Amino acid sequence: MHGPVPPLRMKPNSSIFVGMSKRALRKYVAELNREALAEQLLDLYERFPEVKTYYDFVFNPREDALLRDAKIRISKEYAPRGKRKPKARRSVAQKYIRQFRVLGVDPALLADLMAFNLETASRFERTRRCPDAFYRSMYNSCREWAQFLVLNGLWQESAGRFEAFLGLVRKGAWPNRDQFEALAEQLEINT
């Protein structure tokens, strides 16, 4: 390696570490020779799962396989195999959605995953008594999905799927269906 790594600085009155600036990092990387830089990248690849996931995706972007794996995992969250009890955690889908955004997956595939999560949750809701937090969290997911569709120009091709999901919300008489209706009205006005 080329010289010692600069120590992390701490903000005054804070226990949160602050790393080096982008400018300082660029300068540091520019000073490294090719072999040292390659060594550091390999070290990062081995140490950090996020770096490994990123480079695996960059060199072999199997978006369909990633989407399939994410859908399987989300399905298991709401309908596990065997006698296990479903956990129905929104955070599982959110983790995949966040990962897809970081990796730069095709927006249409990401929109499909967001819709799949809501549709799977609505199937789960039909067979269970769900707490209010479940409905709030599904509204948040729906709002994020709608915003994503509009921002990425996917609203026209996904409007039918959105309306179908809204139909499930109405049919299930969700306690917060008024929020979903208001969101749908807002989308009609803005699109």
At 129-164, the pLDDT tens digits run: 889 999 999 999 999 999 999 999 999 999 999 999
- The pLDDT tens digits for 102-123 are 888 999 999 999 999 999 999 9
- What is the residue-averaged pLDDT of the chain? 86
The per-residue pLDDT for range 48-95, each reduced to its tens digit, is: 988 888 888 888 888 888 899 999 999 999 888 877 888 878 889 999
* CA dist., res. 31 & res. 140, Å (int): 46
Closest to 53 in 3D by CA, of 32, 70, 34, 39: 70
pLDDT at 5 exceeding the cut of 90: no
* Run of H or E including 5: none
What span, in angstroms and rounded, lies between the C-alpha atoms of 114 and 140? 11
Asked if pLDDT for residue 11 goes beyond 70, the answer is: no
